[in-house]
Structures are given as structure tokens and as C-alpha cells.
């Protein structure tokens, strides 16, 4: 029996600290009063921690938190808890405390303690700021569905703005595609408190088809312009007042080194309501090559025209914008502007050695632009 704040240490395991320690060296079982230990993903404290097996701990009147302070901002308490080291923990019942005030209770809980990728409960993070007040973020569940995809569902509690749910689905297949879909949902209006469905949705997708085609797409959508300002605790996300949706498809021909790019892009300013878009934007490129290829062999000599090189590019672009304006009568009108054009470019170059040590180089560029009539009009 040992007093004076003993520490139980075993090879390869986190130490257990406490006020009083009882340990049987033969059976390798023991008990610690007012014990405290760290085990991923957080800290455990118990009025009585008993080691009942090689890798099993029983905690009576215990608490758990991910906050490393001696007096944590938040914690979960239970009358009894059983931990299988690096495997799983079971507790019942569980009461959640914030600033020593009970706010939620569940009859029991099962949470994983394994390292690495696995399904299980995600423990929340406590914080405080001027905008949202005190908050508890990222409390939820992670589902490792398979080696190709997983999902996360979270609940975020804010003192001033209420509860906000968020989720994410990620997917990936090596050498084929990868991406994610994210969402955020608020069931109540932050100002009036009335029931109102407000949300944000975003996605990213990258895909390779064979060795010559790549597809990249991304987009963001919101239910209303003020969602980010009112429901994000992160200052950078609150200040981001633009929505961008884009799609890029690229095709290459390895034998000729030619390439074709097709892209579309839409950007919306959430503060002004202005929408800018590029639909479509098509570019074809033919890299520099010889106008006449020289075939060696057969006693042939290289002629001057074998040094003529050329490159070709073509770009078709349609660009426009829509801007809300207010008339002197107080009416809202939409001002729309659109420009389109098709540009072709041909580059020629010629280089030739003179007197063995000198060389000359000439180049010629040809550029042609096709444009329709310029349109600018108002739509009520």
C-alpha cells in the first residue's frame, strides 16, 4: 500500500495517477483512488479505478473529457465505466456537463479506443469566442463504411446561435476517382428562433478516365445569402461571401501531344447578388512541331524547310454577368451583360545556322478573333 500521490506505470501504457494505490504484484491487479489517466482520445478520471484484467479497467463514478485543463470546460460523467485498453469503452448512464452544468443525458454509451481508422463516436471540442459565445463542436459519429468511402455526422452546439448539424461523405478509388460531399443544416432561424430550414451544400470530385481524360468539378450552394455570416463560428468562413461552381474536362492525345480543355465556371457574390459566369470555355492546343518532318537515311540531307516549326491554338469563350440594380422607383431590375468570342492563333518560326557558328531565327504570328454583336440589356 502506497500513499503520497502514487503513479502506476506499466511498459507500453499510459501512467495512472491517483491519491491512493493498492496493487498486487502476483495477480497484477490493483486499485487507485481519485485516479486520472490519458488514453486516446482523451482524459479519464474516476473516484475509483480498478484494474481487473491484463487490459481491462473498471471506473466507478468517473468522468471523461478531451480538455487537458485540471478543471475542464466540459466533461461526461458516468456512475460506472468499463474500458478495454485500445479497444472499446462502455459507460452507463452518461451525463454531459458544460461549465459544471448538466445539459444532456443518455442511458448508455459505447465508444471505440482503437488507433487508426475505425467507426465510432467523435468526442466534441469546447471553445468560446465573441460571436458564438461558448460552444461545443464536432460531437457525432464517424462511420468507416469500407476502404472506398466513409461518412461523418456531427452536431455543433452554440450558446448564441443554437444547434447546427453538419456531415461529410468522402470517397476514393485509387487511380480512378476521389471526392467529398459536405453539408450543414440549421433547423431554426438564428434571429427569430422560428423553425426554418437553412442549409449549405458543397462538393468536390476528381476523376481519371483511362490515361487521357481527367474531370475536375466543385461547387457550393446555400439556402440564403446570410447563412455563412450567421451560422459559422470560423471567421474565415463567415467572411467568405462568394459561391463558386466549376467543371473542367481535359482530353489529351499522347501520340500527337494535342489537348482539348472544356470548362464552365459560375461565381456568385452573396453580398451584392452579382453572378459572373463563363459557359463555355473551350481551348484546343497543338504544341510546336516541324512543318515538314525530316526522315533520315537513304543519303538524304536536311533542307531549310525542315527547320520551319509551327503551333496552333483555338479558344472559344462566352462570358457574362447578371447584376441586380434598383431603379429610382424602388424596383429591382437585373442588368445582364454577355460577351462571346472565338480566337485562333498560329505561330511560325524558322531557325538556321550560318557559317557553322552563327544562327538566325525568324518568327511570325497570326491572330484572328471572331465576335458576334455586343449585347447589353435589362430584364425586369
- Is the same domain home to 264 and 350? yes
pLDDT band at 242 (very low <50, low <70, confident <90, very high): very high
With contact defined as beta carbons under 8 Å apart, do 221 and 198 qualify? no
From the number of C-beta atoms within 10 Å of its C-beta (0-12, 13-18, 19+), residue 56 rates as middle
Give pLDDT, residue 87: 76
pLDDT reading at 380 higher than 50: no
From the number of C-beta atoms within 10 Å of its C-beta (0-12, 13-18, 19+), residue 263 rates as middle
| Mean per-residue pLDDT of the chain | 86
- Is the same domain home to 141 and 192? yes
Give pLDDT, residue 12: 62
Those residues with Cβ within 8 angstroms of residue 15's Cβ, 6 or more apart along the chain or in another chain:
7, 8, 9, 37
- Is the same domain home to 179 and 291? no
More confident residue, 28 or 242: 242
Q: In terms of C-beta distances under 8 Å and separation of at least 24 residues, what long-range contacts does 77-84 make, across chains too?
A: 78/109, 81/44, 81/46, 82/56, 82/57, 82/58, 83/39, 83/44, 83/56, 83/57, 83/58, 83/59, 83/113, 84/55, 84/56, 84/113
Number of separate domains in the chain: 3
Mean pLDDT check: name the lowest of 34-38, 86-90, 246-250, 289-293: 86-90
* Residue at a domain's end among 98, 115, 132: 115
Return left, alpha or beta for 247; rule: phi > 0 is left, psi -120 to 50 is alpha, else beta. beta
With contact defined as beta carbons under 8 Å apart, do 113 and 89 qualify? yes
Provide the greatest CA pair distance for the chain: 101
- Is the same domain home to 227 and 127? yes
pLDDT reading at 139 higher than 80: yes
pLDDT reading at 206 higher than 90: yes
- Is the same domain home to 195 and 155? yes
- Is the same domain home to 249 and 324? yes
* Residue at a domain's end among 185, 208, 240: 240
Give pLDDT, residue 58: 87
- Is the same domain home to 96 and 164? no
Those residues with Cβ within 8 angstroms of residue 63's Cβ, 6 or more apart along the chain or in another chain:
44, 45, 46, 75, 76, 77, 78
Instruction: Please compute, for residue 223, the number of CA atoms within 13 A of its CA located in the half-sphere on the CB side.
Output: 15
With contact defined as beta carbons under 8 Å apart, do 164 and 156 qualify? yes
- Is the same domain home to 204 and 144? yes
Tell me the percentage of the chain whose pLDDT exceeds 90. Answer: 38
pLDDT in tens, 303-351: 888 889 999 999 999 999 999 888 888 788 888 898 899 999 999 999 8
Those residues with Cβ within 8 angstroms of residue 358's Cβ, 6 or more apart along the chain or in another chain:
none
- Is the same domain home to 234 and 249? no
Question: How far, rounded to the nearest angstrom, does the alpha carbon of residue 375 sit from its chain's CA centroid?
Answer: 39
Q: Please give the DSSP secondary-structure letter assigned to residue 124.
A: P
pLDDT in tens, 85-108: 777 788 888 898 888 888 888 887
* Residue at a domain's end among 67, 88, 115: 115
With contact defined as beta carbons under 8 Å apart, do 184 and 199 qualify? yes
Q: Please give the DSSP secondary-structure letter assigned to residue 229.
A: H
pLDDT reading at 1 higher than 60: no
More confident residue, 32 or 210: 210
Direct distance between the N- and C-terminal alpha carbons of the chain, in angstroms, rounded to an integer: 87
CA nearest neighbour of 187 among 174, 200, 176, 196: 196
**Can you give the residue range of the structural domain that contains 377?**
242-380
- Is the same domain home to 228 and 291? no
More confident residue, 372 or 287: 287
- Is the same domain home to 192 and 225? yes
- Is the same domain home to 23 and 121? no
Cell numbers linked to 191 = 434571429
Exposure string of 198-216, with b = 16+ CB inside 10 Å and e = fewer, is bbbebbebeeeeeeeebeb
CA nearest neighbour of 66 among 132, 121, 15, 3: 121
Amino acid at each position: 500500500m502506497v500513499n503520497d500521490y502514487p503513479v502506476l506505470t506499466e511498459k507500453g501504457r499510459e501512467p495512472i495517477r491517483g491519491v491512493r494505490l493498492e496493487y498486487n504484484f502476483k495477480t497484477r491487479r490493483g486499485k487507485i483512488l481519485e485516479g486520472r489517466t490519458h488514453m486516446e482520445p482523451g482524459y479519464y478520471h474516476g473516484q475509483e479505478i480498478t484494474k481487473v484484467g491484463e487490459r481491462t479497467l473498471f471506473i466507478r463514478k468517473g468522468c471523461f473529457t478531451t480538455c487537458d485543463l485540471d478543471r475542464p470546460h466540459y466533461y461526461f460523467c458516468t456512475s460506472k465505466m468499463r474500458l478495454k485498453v485500445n479497444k472499446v469503452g462502455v459507460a452507463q448512464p452518461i451525463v454531459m456537463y458544460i461549465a459544471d452544468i448538466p445539459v444532456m443525458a443518455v442511458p448508455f454509451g459505447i465508444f471505440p479506443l482503437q488507433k487508426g481508422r475505425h467507426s465510432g463516436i467523435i468526442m466534441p471540442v469546447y471553445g468560446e469566442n465573441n460571436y458564438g459565445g461558448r460552444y461545443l463542436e464536432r460531437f457525432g459519429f464517424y462511420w468507416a463504411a469500407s476502404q472506398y468511402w466513409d461518412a461523418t455526422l456531427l452536431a455543433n452546439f452554440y450558446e448564441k446561435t443554437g444547434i447546427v448539424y453538419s456531415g461529410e461523405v468522402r470517397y476514393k478509388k485509387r487511380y480512378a476517382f476521389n471526392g467529398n460531399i459536405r453539408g450543414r443544416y440549421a433547423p431554426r432561424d438564428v434571429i427569430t428562433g422560428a423553425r426554418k430550414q437553412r442549409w449549405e451544400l458543397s462538393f468536390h470530385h476528381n476523376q481519371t478516365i483511362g490515361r487521357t481524360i481527367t474531370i475536375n468539378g466543385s461547387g457550393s450552394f446555400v439556402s440564403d445569402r446570410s447563412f455563412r455570416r450567421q451560422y459559422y463560428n470560423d471567421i474565415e468562413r463567415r467572411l467568405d461571401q462568394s459561391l463558386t461552381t466549376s467543371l473542367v474536362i481535359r482530353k489529351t492525345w499522347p501520340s500527337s501531344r494535342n489537348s482539348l480543355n472544356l470548362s464552365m465556371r459560375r461565381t456568385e457574390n452573396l453580398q451584392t447578388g452579382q453572378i459572373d459566369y463563363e459557359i463555355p470555355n473551350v481551348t484546343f492546343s497543338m504544341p510546336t512541331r516541324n512543318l515538314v518532318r525530316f526522315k533520315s537515311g537513304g543519303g538524304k540531307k536536311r533542307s531549310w524547310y525542315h527547320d520551319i516549326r509551327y503551333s496552333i491554338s483555338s479558344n472559344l469563350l462566352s462570358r457574362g454577368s447578371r447584376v441586380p440594380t434598383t431603379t429610382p422607383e424602388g424596383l429591382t431590375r437585373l442588368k445582364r451583360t454577355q460577351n462571346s468570342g472565338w480566337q485562333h492563333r498560329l505561330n511560325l518560326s524558322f531557325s538556321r545556322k550560318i557559317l557553322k557558328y552563327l544562327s538566325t531565327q525568324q518568327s511570325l504570328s497570326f491572330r484572328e478573333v471572331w465576335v458576334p454583336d455586343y449585347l447589353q440589356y435589362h430584364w425586369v
